[in-house]
Chains A and B, each alone.
Chain A
Amino acid sequence: MVNDPDQELVTLAKRGDKAAFGKLVAQYHDLVYAVAFGVLGEREEALDATQDVFIKIFQELEHFQGQSKFKTWLYRISVNAAIDAARKRRPTEPIEEEANFEAKNLSPRAEASQREIRELIEKALSSLNPEHRAVLVLREWHELSYEEIAETLQIEMGTVMSRLFYARKKLAEIIGVKFGELKP
């Protein structure tokens, strides 16, 4: 059993306390959505996947033994659910998400630049498979260590490092070259 800051809410939720689980959802929605969107790259799909993850977790909470932290367990289920959803999707389905960087206080030129960066990131991500995108999100956005990523995905640390290396290289190839001229 590990020392888990979410222990109390998890215990209450296990007893069927929906409000307690609602607090966990409020706390971790961004985390799960970031994984889902990072892997899937499409808002509607990512929102559906996020909701499915929380519903699944609530239903299976009684099986959570506390061998790892709740957050680690949540990461694992989120990544697996997002990768499954990405595999099930039709292979020709394009990513159609519009650019939506925060446009506040940006000049039209800076806004256009932001939009272009976003489009480049989307292009770079679409060139990666779901497993590579998952590692990239866990490392670059969630800032998990290699060990944590390995534990979450239940893969070797060497695999984590090679996937991350490949994903970063792809990003650099597509957006790195133009980065200097696009930055506002």
Chain B
Amino acid sequence: MNERQDEEIKNAFRQYLTAEIKHPEVEKAKEKFIQERFGHESLIIFRPVFYVPVLSALFVFLVLFPVHKPALKPAAEYSLKEAVKQAVVKEIPVKLPGIEINVERVSSEIGPTLVYQKNWHNQPLTVVWVFTGGMNQ
């Protein structure tokens, strides 16, 4: 093997490896690998080091201070205590026919009589008026 032939073989071998390294498939794999494994750092808010403690703190806060959303229960489920709590006072400026009184105020506050409607869709509302002081009131 002479020197010239040795040099030609070396060049052929170098060309063989260079062509392989520059092959589009290899270049593409290289770019993909770098991007996926060692790409630019993402913004801090997208890194676990940031969002994991934040979400944990939020979870603890919600456990300690739960947000209550008022939910309506069926009337039958209201206890007497709850009914009192939810006392409603409305001004109703109406006149009752044949009676010389004006009803200006209806209240469900607790008293000797409790007006309680179990199911207002199917049953007429029964109102019991108690006038402890007579008709002159």
> What is A's interface to B at a CB cutoff of 8 Å?
18-19, 21-22, 25-26, 29-30, 33-34, 37-38, 43, 47, 51, 54-55, 58, 100-102, 117-118, 121, 136-137, 140-141, 168-169, 171-172, 175-176, 179, 183
Contact = CB atoms under 8 A, between A and B. Distances in A.
Given A26-B30, A100-B20, A171-B9, 17 more contacts: A18-B37, A19-B38, A22-B39, A25-B34, A29-B30, A29-B33, A33-B30, A43-B26, A51-B33, A102-B22, A118-B16, A121-B13, A141-B13, A168-B1, A168-B6, A169-B1, A176-B9
A171 B5 contact: no
A164 B12 CA distance: 16
B26 A172 contact: no
B17 A101 contact: no
B19 interface: yes
B114 interface: no
Contact of A43 (B10, B25, B40): B25
Given A47-B29, A102-B22, A140-B10, A22 B38 contact: yes
A27 B22 CA distance: 14
Contact of B5 (A19, A100, A117, A176): A176
B17 A175 contact: no
Contacts of B110: none
Nearest 3 interchain pairs by C-beta: A22-B38, A172-B1, A101-B19
B17 A26 contact: no
